[in-house]
């Protein structure tokens, strides 16, 4: 049986780890390298670094952070935010990242995903979808949840899979940072029937919320931030809760 993954999400602005609510109202948390090492030593499965303002300013500023972290962290690392060109992907991978997460550029130019897959392989291309409830469904947003795309989020997930993305990162903007639990309806709708792994993100505030995602949706992984950053539970506690709930994870 393929084990479920627990991913630490580390959002960064101006070299500081930050955390907000609904991707806004950010608060400084600490140093990204120090937190990455801490979570690695606690046996996190993967780490996701996201430049929170990269799309806004048209650049990714994480390459030095990735290079530094890769000297001390030996789990898969994904980098996202401001990935706009083949050169950005190449530079991310050369800095030590295993995967890149792409949202805004995919919305602007969907074939960018297909080109990236042809060039680098689907295994390192994560399509990021930021979804907000809209009527009976969800709309996809970009620019770190700031801009409407007019795209139905679930339809966009399916299109990204068809374009060759190797994974989907689905973040609920409505629940992000609230610590009140994930939008399980969104995550199940995105993961049900998907032919690629789906990472659920947004709203985790306690170990039960993580268990809920794996018990009530078909997600393959959960990305967590607040629960770790605010010491609400450690990696070990989360994994113990998952094992107790019958969810197969790495020890």
Residue 140 CA: distances (Å) to CA of 40, 78, 179, 217 = 31, 21, 21, 20
State the CATH number of the domain containing residue 108. Answer: 3.20.20.70
129 part of a folded domain: yes
Q: What range does the domain containing 240 cover?
A: 5-244
pLDDT at 49 (0 to 100): 96
72 part of a folded domain: yes
249 part of a folded domain: no
pLDDT in tens, 127-177: 999 999 999 999 999 987 778 999 999 999 999 999 999 999 999 999 999
Number of domains, the chain: 1
Average pLDDT over residues 50-71: 77
pLDDT in tens, 206-224: 999 999 999 999 999 999 9
Q: Mean pLDDT over all residues of the chain?
A: 93
pLDDT band at 55 (very low <50, low <70, confident <90, very high): low
251 part of a folded domain: no
Q: Positive or negative CA dihedral for 149, 185, 217, 171?
A: positive
Rg (CA), the chain: 16
pLDDT band at 62 (very low <50, low <70, confident <90, very high): confident
pLDDT at 23 (0 to 100): 65
Rounded to the nearest 10°, the torsion over CA 132, 122, 89, 201 is 30
Contacts of residue 23, defined as CB under 8 A and 6 or more positions apart, other chains included, come to: 52, 130, 144, 145, 146, 173, 176, 177
Per-residue DSSP letter, 219: -
Catalytic positions, written as ranges? 11, 130
Residue 231 CA: distances (Å) to CA of 35, 59, 67, 128, 238 = 11, 31, 26, 26, 11
250 part of a folded domain: no
Q: Considering only CA atoms, which of 111, 103, 231, 87 is closest in space to residue 170?
A: 103
For the full predicted model, state whether its pTM sits above 0.75.
yes
119 part of a folded domain: yes
């Amino acid at each position: 049986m393929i084990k479920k993954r627990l991913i630490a999400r580390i959002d960064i602005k101006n070299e500081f780890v930050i955390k907000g609510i609904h991707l806004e109202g950010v608060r400084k948390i600490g140093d990204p390298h120090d937190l990455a090492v801490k979570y690695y030593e606690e046996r996190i499965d993967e780490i996701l670094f996201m430049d929170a303002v990269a799309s806004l300013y048209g650049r990714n500023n994480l390459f030095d952070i990735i290079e530094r972290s890769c000297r001390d962290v030996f789990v898969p690392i994904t980098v996202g935010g401001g990935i706009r060109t083949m050169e950005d992907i190449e530079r991310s991978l050369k800095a030590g990242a295993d995967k890149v997460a792409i949202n805004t550029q995919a919305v602007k130019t969907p074939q960018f995903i297909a080109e990236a897959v042809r060039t680098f392989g689907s295994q390192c291309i994560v399509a990021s979808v930021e979804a907000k409830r809209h009527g009976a469904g969800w709309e996809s947003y970009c620019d770190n949840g700031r801009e409407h795309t007019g795209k139905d989020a679930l339809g966009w997930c399916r299109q990204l899979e068809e374009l060759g993305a190797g994974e989907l990162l689905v973040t609920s903007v409505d629940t992000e940072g609230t610590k009140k639990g994930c939008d399980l309806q969104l995550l199940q709708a995105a993961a049900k029937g998907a032919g690629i792994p789906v990472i659920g993100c947004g709203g985790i505030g306690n170990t039960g919320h993580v268990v809920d995602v794996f018990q009530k949706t078909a997600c393959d992984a959960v990305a967590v931030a607040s629960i770790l950053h605010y010491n609400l539970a450690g990696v070990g506690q989360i994994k113990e809760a998952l094992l107790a709930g019958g969810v197969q994870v790495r020890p």
